Amino acid sequence: MKVLIKKVKDLTKKEMSFINTNRLKEFGATVEEWQKDYLIADTFLIKDEEDIVAFGMLMPIKIRYLNKNYNILGISSVISVERKKGYGKKIINSMIDYAKPEKKTLIGFCQKHSKKFYEKCKIKLNKPLLKRFLYKNSINKYEDYVIYHEGKDNLMKKLLSTKLNIRLNGPFW
C-alpha cells in the first residue's frame, strides 16, 4: 500500500473527520483545535481501498537556538488504526524519505508505550531533553521522550551539546 501525502488544508471532509475522531480518541485533541499555521502541515495517509488505516503529520516548525533559526519538521499524530501490520513504520519511513531532499531534521514527542515502535523505525529517543523544550515556560507534561531523526543542520547534536532550554514560539505539536 502506498503512502499518500496531502496538505491538511487539502484533506476531504471525510478524511479530516476520520483524523479528528482518531486524534480525539488517542490524544484527546482534534486538528481543528490547532493554530491556523498548522493547516500547512503535510498529512501522510495509508488507505485500504477508501478507508484510512494509518496516518501521520509533519509540521513545519521554526526553532530559534543560540541566536540561529532552524526550519525543522515536527512529527505529529502518528496513528495506526489497524495495528501491527507495518503501517505505522511505513508512515515513519515515508516521513524520513520526505525530509531527505533538504535533509531536514525531524523532531517529535512520544509517550513511553510508543518507545519500542520508534526504536524499530530507527528513530532516536531522548528522555532528559523533554524537560528542556518549553512552551510559555512550561514543559510537555504528557509525553516521555523527544523523538528525532537528525538532518544536515545537526540541530540535535547542537541541542545535546548544551544544557540550555529550547523555547518554542508555538505549542507542542
Ligand X SMILES: CC(C)(COP(=O)(O)OP(=O)(O)OC[C@H]1O[C@@H](n2cnc3c(N)ncnc32)[C@H](O)[C@@H]1OP(=O)(O)O)[C@@H](O)C(=O)NCCC(=O)NCCS
Residues of this chain that bind ligand X (CB under 6 A)? 26, 54, 78-80, 83-89, 110, 113-114, 116-117, 120
Q: 115 or 132: whose CB is closer to ligand X?
A: 115
The cell numbers describing 40, all together, are 500547512
| Residue closer to ligand X (CB basis): 144 or 153 | 144
Smaller CB separation from ligand X, 71 or 93: 93
Query: Which residue's Cβ has the minimum distance to ligand X?
Result: 88
| HEC letters along the chain | CCEEEEEHHHCCHHHHHHHHHHHHHHHCCCHHHCCHHHHHCEEEEEEECCEEEEEEEEEEEEEEECCEEEEEEEEEEEEECCCCCCHHHHHHHHHHHHHCCCCCCEEEEECHHHHHHHHHCCCEEECHHHHHEEECCECCCCCCEEEEECCCCCHHHHHHCCCCCEEECCCCC
Shortest distance in whole angstroms from residue 61 CB to ligand X: 15
Q: Which is nearer to ligand X, 141 or 163 (CB)?
A: 141
Q: How far is the CB of 93 from ligand X (least distance, A)?
A: 9
Nearest-approach distance from CB 149 to ligand X, in angstroms: 14
Q: Which of 79, 82, 61, 58 is nearest to 70 (CA)?
A: 61
Quote the least distance from Cβ 147 to ligand X, whole Å.
Answer: 7
Minimum CB distance to ligand X, residue 99 (Å) = 17
Amino acid at 155: L
Nearer to ligand X, 89 or 167 (CB): 89
